[in-house]
Amino acid sequence: MNAIPENMPVADARKQSEITDEQARFFLDQGFLVVRHVLAGEELRLVQEEMMKLYERGAAGAAGDPDYMYGRGGRSGKDVLKRIEYVIDKSDPMKALLGHPFILRSVEKLQGNNFVPTWDSMVLKAPDEGIIVNWHRDAAVPEGCKDPRPIFNVDFYLDEADLRTCLWVIPGSNNWPKEQAAARCARPGFDTSDAIPVPMQPGDVIFHNIEVLHGSPAGEGNPLRRTVYYEFRPGEIEMEFGPHTLEYIKLKQHVLLECIKWRQAVPYAAGEEPFRYRPTGAFAIAGARVPDTFRYPHEAYFRRRN
């Protein structure tokens, strides 16, 4: 295993208003970046509480609800809850969280001012049922895309992830050719010889490029681990390549605006300078509209040929 580099840039949301140029550079080169203390105090407590409700509902068996997804538990082999989709629709503090100014300013710095929010999900490791998440890329950059801007997830940790359960990444693998990444993923076992662990505290965040190789061990006897993933994409890439339609881009821009507004109404964000979303050119919007839902199902907005 690689140690965490001594001089690895780590952002601190208590001390910065957005990531620095050096941190942005590290993220572009290495495919991940740790940001400490994004959620704290009342917001952390609320988000934890709300996501615990969703977890409990799902753990009790949300039969028939397609937003609750199950996998085979690592210990019992039984169906255990592994993922919940559309958490923004399911919980108001998650709407306010999408408006988080440190996050949005940093996303804008990396993706430009026409970025759009895409996925919002919670990924779970059920207590003592941790499942190995083998080495993988989340998704591929669209075929033919030469735009160098990163597509990435912002992962909000609601529980501690220690060395037993935490995410491991292979730094720089986001820039590997497809074949190299595939060969590395095919290596048997959860080999960490070229990887580093990224232990996290509740409220910490990782930015991770969709193409950086990552995974996590089974973590025997693990406690519950909840991580919320908000994905963002540069609008220009989404417009040209999808996977979503133009209609989706526009609807999600309005969701973003509404969530920024939402955040301005919560007491725990009172002292903040709100993020100003200012898309331009093809992505300019004529004025905020209250979205008729916060749940635009991906499959309804994927591009199709007929």
Which residues lie near a second copy (CB under 8 A)? 239, 242, 245-250, 253, 278, 280-287, 296, 300-301, 303-306
Instruction: Select 63 or 286, whichever has its Cβ closest to a second copy.
Output: 286
Smallest separation (angstroms) from a second copy to the CB of 134? 33
Residue found by looking up tokens 């881009």 in the block: 249
Smallest separation (angstroms) from a second copy to the CB of 4? 40
Instruction: Select 2 or 113, whichever has its Cβ closest to a second copy.
Output: 113
Instruction: Select 62 or 239, whichever has its Cβ closest to a second copy.
Output: 239
Instruction: Select 26 or 296, whichever has its Cβ closest to a second copy.
Output: 296
Sheet order of strands, 133-136 included: 133-136, 214-216, 167-169, 196-198
Residue whose C-alpha is closest to residue 137's, from 79, 185, 202, 179: 185
Tell the burial category of 243 from Cβ atoms under 10 Å away from its Cβ (0-12, 13-18, 19+).
Answer: middle
Which residues on adjacent β-strands are paired with residue 116? 233
- Residues 6 or more apart whose Cβ sits within 8 Å of residue 162: 199
Smallest separation (angstroms) from a second copy to the CB of 282? 5
Distance between CA 140 and CA 145 in Å, rounded?
A: 10
Torsion of CA 86, 301, 140, 149, to 10 degrees: -90
Instruction: Select 76 or 280, whichever has its Cβ closest to a second copy.
Output: 280
Smallest separation (angstroms) from a second copy to the CB of 261? 18
Smallest separation (angstroms) from a second copy to the CB of 258? 15
